[in-house]
Amino acid sequence: MATYSTNEFRGGLKLLLDGDPCTIIENEFVKPGKGQAFNRVRIRNLKTGRVLEKTFRSGETVEAADVVDRDLQYLYSDGEFWHFMDTDTFEQVQADANAMGESIKWLKEQDLCMVTLWNGSPIAVEAPNFVILEITETDPGVKGDTSGGGGKPATLETGAVVRVPLFVQTGEKIKVDTRTGDYVSRVKDE
Amino acid sequence: MSAGSRTSRDPLDSDWHPGAGLAALRARAAMLADLRAHFAASGVLEVETPLACSTAGTDPALQPLTAQYKGPIYPSGTRLYLQTSPEFAMKRLLAAGSGPIFQICKAFRDGEAGRLHNPEFSILEWYRPGVGVADLITEVATLARLCLIQPALAVEYVPYAMLFRRELDLDVFTADPDVLKAAALDHNILGAEGMDLTRDGWLDLLFSHLIQPALGQSALCFVTDYPASQAALARLNADGRTAARFELFHQGLELANGFDELVDPDEQAARFESDNCQRRSAGQEPIKIDRRLLAALQQGMPATCGVAVGLDRLLMLRLGVRDIDEVLSFSLQRC
């Protein structure tokens, strides 16, 4: 079992706390001139995404979490799991809906994603910041409207629904910012 | 070298640079000149004492760095302790009849590095024989205002026990470790549930997490009358449960620690023993007792108040910077 002492604490270090993998966001050494030293640490729980503050007595050791981030290619979903592959080693892993989170809405086969692996299994999947997806259904826009002022809902090939300007039509491809879910632009086919 | 290639090799290239900018270097020089002018004008003698000594303070909360010397005087070699503060040597000067003295020097503490700590840091320490705590606090406030360039900065005084009563409804004299731990949990200090601390350790946890951050937000806040268990080298007050020790906080930063100094050699010897006892039980190496300090106290040190001020943190506040690295030429990660 690998462990870290508080002296090794720094941003990005992965710890196992109460059974969950966590990453250190910020580590602060706190010590009264003539008193006990502590490490006051801001931590993100990598399974729940929650941020919390935790204090350690300086000199304590904490169990390390075997967590790595890797760029993997999304292959397909069998309905229960989403399958990814390392394009160098061809090694495959499967993520459940929990690990997929919001990324489910944006992924198309062959997209490259950042997958966080804990003990070799995905616990989080981050879609690319921008994806290009085809609109499968949207109401026909009012003719002549080019301002995009009002907008309307559009369903994308992955099932996601985004607001698009009125002039965008079914069958067109659009670029979407996955962090906000906002429409960015139309994309012309090459 | 082009700007582009410099950026691409930043980690290798940039750590030769000082952490402190030119403005910080100048502010430090100006601050030191102001402090020396103050003491020259008020008849306090500047002294130097050795930083590498054969003994060190025994305070279990402080770990000295050590160095090795071999040569004349110690032909088979000896360990020297880099001083955690110049206190013992300065007290020997006082016992030798120096009168009021001050020193600006480096102090060393093993294991302390972070946004507010560097293992080697600058201390201003001074002693005024025949002066009471209240007058010394007034002088600390004067110098802090001078260093911060805030001549009108207000001063607050609050006893340590009153802070705990007011903020946490705790009696620091009677609360046992379980009560203090429960208070930490009540106030959502995550991690406290698994900690095993001494009574003073719990007080430190509560103080540093729940009390200190708010201290002296717009004033110089002097916390006075620490519990006797945290007397360090202060004499005890007549009530027997508090010590004549004070600390200065401004904007949540601990800046100074002062005492009405313990001058009784027997009590000093007893505290050395008790410190070393705590060190042993905490698995730390005991530190050889400074017999020369005890001999000096035996001969007689005048009643004296003394205080140590952390100059790097004072400079941080003067410049409004967040990290001690920004006021040091080369902090640990650069030297």
Cβ-based contacts under 8 A for chains A and B: 73
Interface test with A, best of B58, B163, B200, B205 (most A CBs within 10 A): B205
Three-class HEC string of B100-129: CEEEEEEEECCCCCECCECCEEEEEEEEEE
* Model confidence at B1: pLDDT above 60: no
Distance from CA of B156 to the nearest CA of A (A): 20
Q: Look at residue B2 in the predicted model and tell me its pLDDT.
A: 41
Distance in angstroms (rounded) separating the CA atoms of residues B133 and B137? 6
A138 and A117 fall within a common domain: no
Distance from CA of A14 to the nearest CA of B (A): 17
Q: Look at residue A143 in the predicted model and tell me its pLDDT.
A: 59
Structure confidence by residue, pLDDT tens digits, A70-86: 999 999 999 899 999 99
Residue A57 maps to which CATH number? 2.30.30.30
* Model confidence at B31: pLDDT above 50: yes
Tell me how far CA of residue B171 lies from CA of A60, B163, B203, in angstroms: 29, 10, 11
Strands B45-46 and B101-108: parallel
Residue A190 confidence class, pLDDT cut points 50, 70, 90: low
Distance in angstroms (rounded) separating the CA atoms of residues B61 and B300? 28
User: What does the pLDDT average to over A124-130?
Assistant: 93
- The neighbour count for residue A97, using CB atoms within 10 Å, is 12
* Model confidence at B10: pLDDT above 60: no
CB contact under 8 A, A36 and B257: no
Q: Look at residue A140 in the predicted model and tell me its pLDDT.
A: 85
Distance in angstroms (rounded) separating the CA atoms of residues B325 and B332? 9
Q: Look at residue A49 in the predicted model and tell me its pLDDT.
A: 87
Distance in angstroms (rounded) separating the CA atoms of residues A184 and A181? 9
Is A9's Cβ below 8 Å from some Cβ in B? no
Q: Is A1 exposed, middle or buried (0-12, 13-18, 19+ CB in 10 A)?
A: exposed
Distance in angstroms (rounded) separating the CA atoms of residues B309 and B86? 12
Structure confidence by residue, pLDDT tens digits, A154-164: 999 999 999 99
Residues of B within 8 A of A52 (CB-CB) are: 190
Residue B3 confidence class, pLDDT cut points 50, 70, 90: very low
> Taking a contact as any Cβ pair under 8 Å apart, which residues of chain A between 50 and 79 contact chain B?
52-58
Q: Look at residue A142 in the predicted model and tell me its pLDDT.
A: 62
Q: Look at residue B8 in the predicted model and tell me its pLDDT.
A: 46
**Percent of chain A's residues with pLDDT above 90:** 84
Closest partner CB to A54 (pick from B190, B201, B207): B190
Task: Note the helical H segments in A19-157.
Answer: 97-100
Q: Which of A89, A104, A126 lies at the terminal end of a domain, its last residue? A: A126
Structure confidence by residue, pLDDT tens digits, B45-94: 999 999 999 999 999 999 999 999 999 999 999 999 999 999 999 999 99
| Partners of B67 in beta bridges | B80
Is A35's Cβ below 8 Å from some Cβ in B? yes
* DSSP-derived secondary structure letter, B227: B
Task: Note the helical H segments in chain B.
Answer: 3-8, 10-14, 22-41, 87-95, 133-148, 160-168, 177-186, 199-206, 265-281, 291-299, 311-319
Residue A76 maps to which CATH number? 2.40.50.140
**Percent of chain B's residues with pLDDT above 90:** 95
CB contact under 8 A, A29 and B61: no
Strands A82-85 and A92-95: antiparallel
Distance from CA of B288 to the nearest CA of A (A): 19
CB contact under 8 A, B117 and A31: yes
**Percent of chain A's residues with pLDDT above 70:** 95
Q: Which of A22, A44, A63 lies at the terminal end of a domain, its last residue? A: A63
Residues of A within 8 A of B114 (CB-CB) are: 27-30
Q: Look at residue B180 in the predicted model and tell me its pLDDT.
A: 98
Backbone φ and ψ for B329, nearest 5 degrees, come out as: -60, -55
Distance from CA of A91 to the nearest CA of B (A): 32
Structure confidence by residue, pLDDT tens digits, B169-210: 999 999 999 999 999 999 999 999 999 999 999 999 999 999
Single out the residue of B203, B206, B255 nearest to residue B230, CA to CA: B203
Q: Look at residue B12 in the predicted model and tell me its pLDDT.
A: 56
Q: Which of A111-120, B93-102, B306-315 has the lowest mean pLDDT?
A: A111-120
* Model confidence at A144: pLDDT above 60: no
CB contact under 8 A, B257 and A33: yes
Residue B11 confidence class, pLDDT cut points 50, 70, 90: low
A122 and A75 fall within a common domain: yes
Distance in angstroms (rounded) separating the CA atoms of residues B179 and B99? 46
Q: Is A73 exposed, middle or buried (0-12, 13-18, 19+ CB in 10 A)?
A: middle
* Model confidence at B267: pLDDT above 80: yes
* Model confidence at B9: pLDDT above 60: no
A59 and A71 fall within a common domain: no
- The neighbour count for residue B197, using CB atoms within 10 Å, is 18
* Model confidence at B129: pLDDT above 60: yes
User: What does the pLDDT average to over B227-236?
Assistant: 95
SS3 (DSSP) at B220: strand
Regarding pTM above 0.95, the answer is no
Q: Is B5 exposed, middle or buried (0-12, 13-18, 19+ CB in 10 A)?
A: exposed
Single out the residue of B300, B305, B259 nearest to residue B130, CA to CA: B305
Q: Look at residue B5 in the predicted model and tell me its pLDDT.
A: 43
Q: Which domain holds residue A39?
A: 3-63
Structure confidence by residue, pLDDT tens digits, A36-67: 999 999 999 998 889 999 999 999 999 999 99
Q: What is the ipTM of this complex?
A: 0.91
Distance from CA of A4 to the nearest CA of B (A): 16
Considering its fold, how many domains does chain A have in total?
A: 3
User: Residue B207's Cα: distance from chain center in Å?
Assistant: 16
Q: What would the DSSP string read from start to end of B65-89?
A: -EEEEEETTEEEEEEEEEPSSSHHH
